[in-house]
Amino acid sequence: MEQTANTGHPRRWAILAVLVVSLLVVVLDNTVLNVALRTLADPVHGLGTTQSELEWAINSYTLVFAGLLFSFGVLGDRFGRKRFLLVGLALFGLASLLSAYAQNPGQLIGARALMGIGGAAIMPVTLSIISNVFDPRERGKAIGVWSGAVGLAIAIGPILGGALLEHFWWGSVFLINVPVVIVGLVAVALLVPESRNPRPGRIDMLGVLMSVVGLVGLTYGIIKGGENGFGNTEVLLTGGGGLVVLAAFVWYESRIAFPSLDVRLFKIPRFSAPIAAIGLTFFASMGVFFFSSFYLQLVRDYSPLQTGLLFLPFAVAQLIFAPRSHAMVQRFGGKAVTATGLSLVTLSLIGFVFVDAQTAVWFLLFVFFVQGVGMANIMAPATESIMSALPREKAGVGSAVSNTIRQVASALGIAILGSILAAVYRGQIEPTTTALPGPAREVANESISGAYGVAAQAGPAGGNLISAANDAFMTAMHWAAGSGAVILGFGILAALIWMPGRRAGAEHVQPVEVEAGELATAG
């Protein structure tokens, strides 16, 4: 029985629905473009983009998005979260329109970067607003719905993209955002209340600048490392420089009176352990989506729509289990639920180690379902733990840190697991390509898609090359999946050691909020 009145906003569930729709368009755009890459490369039906231009069409969004997430979360806390949400939605809709009607690859890359700015303004404030309009007793359920929307958007992005490309031109994957944004703008203006930090103190401009420069440098280095190898001079300078700036940022933030991020919060296990769990989960999972898309469309010869539909069990698992994860935490504790979720994601990666070119479809569906169940039982309890470690007025900090870690970890997962994939593939395919002419050998050794392109022009001999490329890719995929599983093992240990158990998870969050508030306002 409730002993105190519910302090949540009267229209909190309608507000949550609006925030989920706003979030969907942002997260969808992280995955929907993947199925359109082949079409964009077509000089007749697309823009005739090169491989490098295709990579930057994706990475320009990720780079800007990750680099600005933290800063925009902090600024939203100060100047108004509703205001930032409205500006972000408008900018995202405009950039989507520009992307849809881009006339050349350069315009598309620029428009995608603009979309990243809009997305960075939207995502952190959605979680901040949830923390402000919901009573702490309902916050877990609301964050479960929010987390389920993230997972759902990741999974339905390829499905939606594939369906649109079956009937419309490539620009439709961007144009679909515009009417959703318009509806979102009206709903936010009518329903969402304005909120901000009542005691923001001075703006930490140097800290904000350092966080942007450090994150952009690190993310750029990660992306370029995935393309050119991590020993590349440009990668070492940008990625290493980004790490140096971020280290200086942490040092600086620990010594000023009004930091944009109080790094002392990381001493609180309820804050730092779930951030690590989220980062490692997205590191492994986005790497899986990366190499499984190649596997499904090339090795198995599925269409973009068929490939997207195979991800559907992941979405179903998110819809079923994410809203229920809060109840699981109340019953078993955040430590047990998060560790179990990490174990399930690890199990799904181990499943990919046993996948081959003839694996039954039901097994693939099962593996994606297990991965979805695991993520559903990580995202919600971990995010709730992060947000409950902070007072409401500092909600933007927790949201921004969580989302920034997710984006950077996703880029790192694709880059590192993609590099493992490329290195093993190259070692496996080289004995077969030694007889090819120099340029063709180089293309075939670079990737399985390159080998397919060379095989298409090799006549009868192309069949042997495709067979060798498939075998090489399967071995490489097994190594990448196994590496991801090993890395997730460290996440399981971190959750078991530092996440709060059942007793801590069942207690009211106020003691942690007070501690976090004291830390945040100390000095």
Q: Is the pLDDT of residue 510 over 60?
A: no
Of the pLDDT bands very low, low, confident and very high (cuts 50, 70, 90), residue 116 is confident
Residue 188 burial (C-beta neighbours within 10 Å; 0-12, 13-18, 19+): buried
DSSP string of 212-256, one letter each residue:
HHHHHHHHHHHHHHHHH-TT-HHHHHHHHHHHHHHHHHHHHHTTS
Element (H, E) at 478: helix 462-498
* Token pair of 1 as six digits: 């029985």
227-231, 239-243, 334-338, 418-422: which range is least confident on average?
Answer: 227-231
Q: Is the pLDDT of residue 96 over 80?
A: yes
Is-contact 76 124, C-beta < 8 A?
yes
Per-residue pLDDT tens over the stretch 280-318? 888 887 777 777 877 887 788 888 788 778 888 887 887
Average pLDDT taken over every residue of the chain: 77
335-351 as b/e, with b when 16 or more CB fall inside 10 Å? bbbbbbbbbbbbbbbbb
Q: What is the 3-state secondary structure (H, E, C) of 24-35?
A: HHHHHHHHHHHH
Of the pLDDT bands very low, low, confident and very high (cuts 50, 70, 90), residue 511 is very low
What is the sign, positive or negative, of the torsion defined by CA atoms of 499, 501, 502, 506? Answer: negative
Distance CA 207, CA 9 (A): 33
Distance CA 503, CA 142 (A): 22
| pLDDT in the model for residue 260 | 65
Is-contact 418 287, C-beta < 8 A?
yes
Per-residue pLDDT tens over the stretch 136-176? 777 777 777 776 676 667 667 777 888 888 788 888 888 88
Task: Give the position of tokens 């070692």.
Answer: 427
| pLDDT in the model for residue 523 | 29
Residue 507 identity: E
Per-residue pLDDT tens over the stretch 374-394? 888 887 677 777 767 666 656
* Token pair of 224 as six digits: 């370029």
Q: Is the pLDDT of residue 93 over 80?
A: yes
| pLDDT in the model for residue 370 | 93
What is the sign, positive or negative, of the torsion defined by CA atoms of 162, 295, 435, 440? Answer: positive
Per-residue pLDDT tens over the stretch 419-454? 788 778 888 888 888 877 777 777 777 777 777 777
Report pTM: 0.72
Of the pLDDT bands very low, low, confident and very high (cuts 50, 70, 90), residue 62 is confident
Residue 260 backbone dihedrals phi, psi, to 5 degrees: -70, -25
* Token pair of 49 as six digits: 């983009």
Per-residue pLDDT tens over the stretch 344-370? 999 999 999 999 888 999 999 999 999
Is-contact 29 119, C-beta < 8 A?
yes
Task: Give the position of tokens 């009145």.
Answer: 5
The residues near 481 (Cβ < 8 Å, ≥ 6 apart) are 288, 291, 349, 350, 352, 353
DSSP state of 302: -
First to last CA, the chain: 40
The residues near 374 (Cβ < 8 Å, ≥ 6 apart) are 281, 340, 341, 342, 343, 344, 345, 346, 347, 348
